Amino acid sequence: MDKKYQTAPCGLDCFNCSWFEENVTDEFKRSEATRLGIPPDEVGCRGCRGEQGKCYWAQGDCATWACVEKKGVTYCFECGEFPCGLLAPSAKGVSYPHNMKVYNLCRMKLNGMDAWIEESAGIRKRYYEGDFVVGQGPVPTDK
C-alpha cells in the first residue's frame, strides 16, 4: 500500500481508518451496515485520492480537494495560505478524525511524510483513546 497516496491532501491518514477498504473485515461490514442501515457492500472507502476527491463521507464536492487541484499542490501544507479556513476544526466533528488534520499536516511539514507515516497510527490512537489533559493534549491511557 502506498501510504503517501492514501494520505488525503487535507492530512487525513486514510490508511489508518477502519473504513479504508484494505482495513475492512466482513464482520466490520456487517456491523456498520446494520448500524447505518445500508447494504454491506457500501461499507468501505478507497480514500479521497482513490475516489478523485469524492470522499465517502463528504456531502457533495470536497472544497479542499478542489483547492489543492487548483493550486497544484499535493498536500495542504505545501500551500502558501496554509492553514486556511477549510482546515478549521469543529466541536461538532470531534468524533471524526477531521480535527486531526492541521496537526497531521504540521507534523508532515516539520518531519517529512515518511516520519509522519510512522507516527500516524499513534497520533490517531492518542486522539481517540487518550485522556485529554489541558496543556498536555491527548495523553495515552493505562487501559
Which pLDDT band, with edges at 50, 70 and 90, does 142 fall under? low
78, pLDDT greater than 80: yes
From residue 107, alpha-carbon distances to 8, 38, 62, 110, 143 in Å are 14, 36, 23, 5, 26
What pLDDT digit, counting tens, does each position of 52-76 carry? Answer: 787 766 677 889 999 999 999 999 9
Q: Tell me what pLDDT residue 45 has.
A: 83
What pLDDT digit, counting tens, does each position of 88-139 carry? Answer: 988 887 777 888 899 999 999 999 999 999 999 999 898 888 888 888 878 8
Over residues 42-59, mean pLDDT: 78
Strands (DSSP E) found in 44-140: 131-133, 137-139
143, pLDDT greater than 80: no
Over residues 15-26, mean pLDDT: 86
CA 132 to mean position of chain CA atoms? 20
Over residues 3-32, mean pLDDT: 89
CA proximity to 130, closest of 121, 143, 116:
143
Q: Tell me what pLDDT residue 51 has.
A: 77
Q: Tell me what pLDDT residue 132 has.
A: 84
Q: Tell me what pLDDT residue 87 has.
A: 92
Domain boundaries, the chain: 14-129
The structure's pTM equals 0.84
